Amino acid sequence: MPHTQPPRFRLAGINEGDRELLEYLRLEFRKIYNHYLKVIRETRILSKIKLEKKTTITAKRRNVSYPIRSELLANTRQCARDKAVECVRLYRSLRERDVKTEFPEFMYETINPRLNWRDGYRINPDGSVRISVKKGKLIHAKLYGSKDDLKIIDNAFNNGYKFNSAEIVKEGDDYFIYVNLVSNSKCSQ
């Protein structure tokens, strides 16, 4: 039976330093997401490449209009950009259908950080996960979830699914990771 919701796992075995890093990840991701919303609102640009050129300082591109200064990994910053673009595209499509809605709000409460597979997070066959927050700062945790969710992850290691992005969610004092998977039959098409 195909799964409909992403597998959800509690991050276990994390210490106070790991919790501080996860909180840093949440706050910094929200800051970057809000920055991209501001840039999109002011420039009306939705092209990810053009947004990247306007915000990312590189060796060749030192003077950018809307610089982002963050220690988060580049792919995590790009996930925040992608999330902002998705929200604005949804807003525009709703407006085209005459649905009353407002431009996406700047998030002061929470927005769940999205991580790319491999660079942002990596699940190991032993049921552990490595989360990369910033250069040289990793979190290692044990995954605790339902038997069905663990079976889905096992299936991914046996080529039934391909790992995609994941989101970190804080619920009370606990942190969870929601793993997005793509069926391998969809990947080969």
Instruction: Name the token pair of 24.
Output: 């840093």
Each domain of the chain, given as residue ranges in start order, spans 1-189
Are residues 132 and 86 in contact, defined by beta-carbon separation less than 8 angstroms?
Answer: no
Q: What is the reported pLDDT for 102?
A: 82
Q: Which residue ranges in the chain fall short of pLDDT 50?
A: 1, 187-189
Q: What is the reported pLDDT for 64?
A: 77
Contacts of 146 (CB under 8 A, 6+ apart): 8
Q: What is the reported pLDDT for 188?
A: 46
- Orientation angle between helical segments 48-55 and 74-96, nearest 10 degrees: 130
CA distances from 61 to 6, 58, 66, 70, 167 (A): 38, 5, 12, 16, 31
Contacts of 152 (CB under 8 A, 6+ apart): 3, 7, 161, 181
pLDDT tens digits, one per residue of 43-73: 999 999 999 888 887 767 777 788 888 899 9
Are residues 8 and 166 in contact, defined by beta-carbon separation less than 8 angstroms?
Answer: no
Q: What is the reported pLDDT for 2?
A: 52
Are residues 41 and 102 in contact, defined by beta-carbon separation less than 8 angstroms?
Answer: no
Q: What is the reported pLDDT for 148?
A: 93
Beta-bridge mates of residue 166 = 115, 179
91-110 burial, b at 16+ Cβ within 10 Å, e below that, comes to beeeeeeeeeeeebeebeee
